[in-house]
A and B are shown apart, each in its own frame.
Chain A
């Protein structure tokens, strides 16, 4: 069974998370400091990390950066910090998702499932909610229809499909699609997302594929989400 590393310094939070996750059959590992967390990721091979940002020894953002230096393990940040800037910073540093405390356990479980079942980047094709992408043929179909995409629209869809269910920040997407030069102007990205949605026949107000996180970024809504 999958092993989840809980990184938090509040014993009551560790306790209820442990009970809840164990009841769903997950194995649990616990780290109460940033140093311990980095060591556990290096040695213990957890499958998902739940990372609190306010740790007694190191700031969680720093722990995240250290983990990303040697591991691509899915990291879900759990924090009471609900400022947009904190979320963007953590996601830019490589967090896969960000859950603001307090949260309900079923929501957290759903987000953990997404991280555990994400398609590896090396796959030759992607299937999700009627959307399929054949990377080798550069072919996209949605609900049985062939979708013709421009080069940039296709690049955007590929970026999102690499990490279904994980948030991609605006600056991450822009860097991937346009390179460094455009990484400050989010205007182009919004236009591109709108065009991609139009090609897929999506309603921007009730998107079923591409979710907007205002001021932060976008994510591909995966099958396993709720």
Chain B
């Protein structure tokens, strides 16, 4: 803080020094041009005043004006090298000079104030605008969160209340169906909450990454098994595993990211359609492409597909929990210094290619 004050002082002294010395130097320089008329000299000094007024404000401009006046009086008016003036014409000229300098100083001061005020108003308006955006975002977030968290509960509470209250009119098969609904919705809620927790931890940068060197093949095989457990009908084909190098990553996080991407691929593909997971590597990167035969993601939506708030902005007009997975995958891969992008699939008219790139050096 003291440093700051000292710095400010230095700046102020500098300003006053310049505003005082500028007319002195100008006047001394003008001594060389003896055949210049006084009017030219006064106009040049006036220019000094104007420059100082525009750059530094009223006070320094007045200082410049007075020093100019003294210099002019001392150096150029008869008798020279005194502060005495004989000619009425000189006195009049200096009077006009002082008046004009004052006007310039005052006008620029006013202009400066108006500009500052306008900037302040602009800033205030911007703040209000940002505040409004934030409010809209907050309410969208709340509505979406409450929808996503409550939707599984609707089935859990509804089905349980049926089992408790209507048990006499339910067949064994119905009871089993209701119970399995409760189970699958409880699992969905668990996944969703886990996703939210992961997301907030990533958002706050508090997720520490315990990296270890691990063969990517191992992660991919665990991934395939996990997807098949949840979607027994899914047709996942891994390729290019032979020459994959080891990567230096947090295995659970990378597995989760790849799982989110593969789960999306399965969900959006026609049933039993092949999901290809193709890998290759070069000196710097391991590349994992996940290709599906779904409807694809239009070019213009690709940027926003990873946006956490993009999903949330849709309020309750989406399936609960849908879409968060992409944002989380992007966050987890990003935390490893990797990249996630959406490409057009090669050799196919429709579908999506999700490309994950992980740095080999880690």
Contacts and interface: CB of A to CB of B under 8 A. Distances in A.
Interface of A: 9-10, 12-13, 15-17, 19-20, 22-24, 53-56, 59, 79-81, 101-106, 108
A79 B151 CA distance: 10
Nearest to B168: A23
B150 A101 contact: yes
Interface string B153-177: 1111111011001100111001001
A19 B170 contact: yes
A12 B97 CA distance: 88
A134 B156 CA distance: 46
B320 interface: yes
Contacts of B191: none
Contact of A54 (B147, B156, B165): B147
B177 A106 contact: no
B319 A10 contact: yes
24 contacts: A12-B152, A12-B184, A13-B154, A15-B181, A16-B155, A19-B170, A19-B174, A20-B166, A54-B315, A56-B317, A56-B318, A80-B150, A81-B316, A102-B156, A102-B157, A102-B158, A103-B157, A103-B158, A104-B158, A104-B161, A105-B165, A105-B166, A106-B165, A108-B158
A78 B278 CA distance: 45
B186 to A, nearest CB: 11
- 6 A-B pairs with the lowest CB-CB distances in the bound complex, closest first: A54-B316, A104-B161, A102-B157, A16-B159, A20-B162, A12-B155
Interface string B190-234: 000000000000000000000000000000000000000000000
B185 interface: yes
B174 A53 contact: no
A53 B316 contact: yes
Given A19-B170, A19-B178, A13 B161 contact: no
Interface in B121-159: 143, 146-147, 150-159
A22 B161 CA distance: 15
B233 to A, nearest CB: 16
Interface residues of B, number: 32
Residue among B147, B159, B177, B318 with the highest chain A CB neighbour number at 10 A: B159
B177 A54 contact: no
Nearest to A103: B158
Nearest to B161: A104
Interface of B: 143, 146-147, 150-159, 161-162, 165-166, 169-171, 174, 177-178, 181, 184-185, 315-320
Given A20-B162, A106-B165, A101 B317 contact: no
Contact of B317 (A22, A54, A106, A108): A54
B319 to A, nearest CB: 7
A106 B157 CA distance: 11
A81 B318 CA distance: 14
Contact of A16 (B169, B181, B316): B181
B184 A9 contact: no
A106 B248 CA distance: 55
Nearest to B185: A12
A54 B144 CA distance: 11
Contacts of A20: 158-159, 162, 166, 178
B169 A24 contact: yes
Nearest to B173: A19
A102 B150 contact: yes
Given A23-B170, A106-B165, A80 B146 contact: yes
A81 B143 contact: yes
A102 B151 CA distance: 8
Contacts of A79: 316
A198 B107 CA distance: 76
A80 B151 contact: yes
A20 B175 CA distance: 10
A169 B26 CA distance: 84
Nearest to A8: B154
